[in-house]
């Protein structure tokens, strides 16, 4: 790959980000904050974000991962301000309903805490060979119990970004983008230009030189970050990097969404609710002011009117046409994410159904990689681009496998689910893991990268949440781990008793946050 410049004297100085929204402003903020706090590396970095004034932000309520706490703390954002200004609620995981059999009692949690003693004990070996009164997640940690009680993961005495239990957030994507824009421009020194980009200077086989706006302003850069959403103006439009579809693996290609008001004094659920349907699933994300609900489905198995009917059944009322929005989903990602001096972040890089809230975490990971590995000199751009592409191809493939896992473990009889169980639609890596897990419960060594998208604990929660006896009975493990069963039961009971005494429901906590705020970290 050619470098942008041949002179070793040309240090990278100007970063141009095309597109705002959550992807653009998170990326701008992470790079700016990283290089403000570490001014020995590229102390003169200038970041310019170009945002078209007419492009709306897609989103009806968005889920995050616990990594968002680290990101916001890096940016120097007050958690109190973030919560109050972005309609934020706390998220302690996802609750999956009707994914296995479709019966009323068919549910399990994917919590955000690891199983108790997880570094030393693989309790899944005991669970897979015994009968338990609880689901797997409730046998190994308290978070599912806490979610059932609709309790928050922290109380008002905790410092910002700290809590009794691990947590993430549900947020209003539109409000969040505006919140980040204000912080990045006023505190972190990001230059904001509101304009349409009409022309890209440079050939598709060479680095971009500049972007030219509709006011004929020419904006030069050393590195260009494409956060232009589905349009993918730079990586797709200019460089024509191939988009690799995975619709033959993940079939959902449509979504219909709406906002729902709360019933009087309805609880703010401290988790994302995901309910399976005959040809897809419905998400339910509660913000402070309303619920964001959407039906993700495959148009191969039901049409739009049928999908809307499923959503109305869930909402328990008819929905007017002006109350719903429809989206096309093209599941997949770019073959390359970093081409020449351009790197795609967010929807321009790819999109998968939001089953495990992976969209924003990929933005965070990409922004962190760029900020920490930012080329000091444009001559090494190609080396870092190669590493970025290798890392993110792996991460996208891991997410595809993990999402597919939710489908292949189902026992539902509808055609949509039967087709997912067709092994010809499985990836080779998922097939190998499922074979391995018939004999070996997932644990640390199954995944070898330093920073995995989903740790082995996540695979355990889904695997044994859906199929408690997936692994073959191991008599040796059954005897070896028998004493752990009583140990875990006592641990869970004691921890739950202590946590219930310290935590209260989300509405109460968020009301206190508005009145008093958290103590600074």
62 labelled ligand-binding: no
Q: Is 280 helix (H, G, I), strand (E, B) or coil?
A: strand
Measured from the Cβ of residue 93, the count of other Cβ atoms closer than 10 Å reads 27
d(CA 201, CA 209): 5
Residues 452-456: contacts with CB under 8 Å, at least 24 apart:
452/398, 453/358, 453/361, 453/362, 453/365, 453/395, 453/398, 453/399, 453/402, 454/356, 454/398, 454/399, 454/402, 455/114
41 labelled ligand-binding: no
Given the DSSP bridges, would you call strands 223-226 and 14-18 parallel, antiparallel or unpaired?
Answer: parallel
- The reply to whether 339 belongs to the active site is no
- List the Cα angle 159/165/168 in 5-degree steps: 80
CB neighbour burial string for 357-391, b if at least 16 within 10 angstroms, e if fewer: bbbbbbbbbbbbbbbeebbebbbebbebbeebbeb
48 labelled ligand-binding: no
91 labelled ligand-binding: yes
23 labelled ligand-binding: yes
Structure tokens at 418: 């039967």
266 labelled ligand-binding: no
How would you write 338-378 as a 3-class SS string?
EECCEEECHHHCEECCCCCCHHHHHHHHHHHHHHHHCCCEH
Given the DSSP bridges, would you call strands 14-18 and 46-51 parallel, antiparallel or unpaired?
Answer: parallel
347 labelled ligand-binding: yes
- The active-site residue, picked from 46, 91, 138, 515, is 91
d(CA 162, CA 180): 21
Q: What is the side-by-side order of every strand in the sheet holding 243-245?
A: 243-245, 332-334, 350-351
| Positions at the binding site for FAD | 20-23, 197, 347
Catalytic residues: 91
| Positions at the binding site | 20-23, 91, 197, 347, 356
| Positions at the binding site for L-tryptophan | 356
């Amino acid at each position: 790959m050619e470098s942008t410049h041949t002179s070793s004297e040309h240090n990278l100085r100007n970063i141009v980000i095309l597109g705002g929204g959550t992807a653009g402003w998170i990326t701008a903020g992470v790079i700016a904050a990283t290089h403000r706090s570490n001014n020995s590396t590229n102390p003169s970095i200038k970041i310019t974000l170009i945002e078209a004034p007419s492009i709306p932000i897609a989103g009806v309520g968005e889920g995050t991962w616990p990594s968002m706490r680290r990101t916001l703390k890096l940016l120097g954002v007050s958690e109190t301000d973030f919560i109050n200004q972005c309609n934020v609620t706390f998220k302690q995981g996802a609750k999956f309903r009707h994914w296995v059999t479709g019966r009323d009692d068919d549910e399990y949690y994917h919590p955000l805490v690891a199983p108790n003693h997880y570094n030393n004990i693989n309790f899944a070996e005991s669970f897979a060979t015994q009968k338990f009164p609880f689901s797997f997640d409730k046998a190994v940690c308290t978070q599912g119990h806490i979610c059932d009680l609709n309790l928050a993961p922290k109380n008002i005495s905790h410092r910002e970004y700290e809590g009794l239990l691990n947590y993430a957030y549900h947020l209003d994507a539109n409000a969040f983008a505006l919140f980040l824009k204000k912080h990045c421009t006023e505190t972190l020194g990001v230059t904001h230009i509101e304009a349409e980009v009409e022309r890209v200077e440079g050939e598709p086989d060479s680095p971009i030189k500049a972007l030219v706006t509709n006011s004929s302003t020419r904006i030069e850069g050393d590195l260009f970050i494409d956060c232009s959403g589905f349009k993918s103006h730079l990586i797709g439009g200019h460089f024509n990097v191939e988009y690799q579809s995975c619709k033959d693996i993940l079939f959902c290609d449509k979504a219909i969404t709406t906002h729902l008001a709360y019933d009087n004094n309805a609880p703010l659920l401290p988790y994302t609710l995901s309910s399976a349907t005959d040809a897809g699933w419905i998400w339910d994300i509660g913000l402070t002011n309303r619920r964001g609900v959407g039906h993700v489905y495959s148009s191969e198995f039901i049409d739009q009117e049928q999908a809307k009917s499923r959503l109305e059944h869930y909402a328990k009322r008819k929905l007017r046409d002006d109350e719903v929005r429809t989206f096309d989903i093209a599941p997949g990602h770019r073959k390359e994410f970093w081409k020449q001096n351009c790197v795609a972040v967010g929807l321009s890089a790819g999109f998968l159904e939001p089953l495990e809230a992976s969209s924003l975490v990929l933005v965070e990971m990409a922004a962190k990689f760029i900020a920490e590995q930012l080329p000091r000199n444009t001559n090494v751009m190609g080396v870092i681009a190669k590493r970025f592409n290798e890392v993110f191809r792996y991460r996208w493939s891991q997410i595809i496998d993990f999402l597919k896992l939710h489908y292949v473990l189902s026992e539902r009889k509808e055609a949509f689910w039967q087709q997912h169980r067709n092994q010809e639609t499985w990836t080779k890596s998922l097939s190998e893991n499922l074979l391995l897990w018939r004999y070996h419960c997932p644990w640390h060594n199954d995944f070898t990268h330093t920073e995995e998208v989903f740790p082995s604990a996540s695979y355990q929660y889904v695997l044994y949440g859906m199929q408690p006896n997936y692994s073959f009975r191991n008599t040796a493990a059954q005897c070896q781990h028998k004493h752990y069963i009583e140990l875990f039961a006592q641990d869970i009971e004691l921890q739950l008793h202590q946590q219930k005494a310290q935590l209260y429901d989300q509405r109460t906590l968020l009301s206190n946050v508005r009145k008093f705020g958290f103590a600074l970290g």
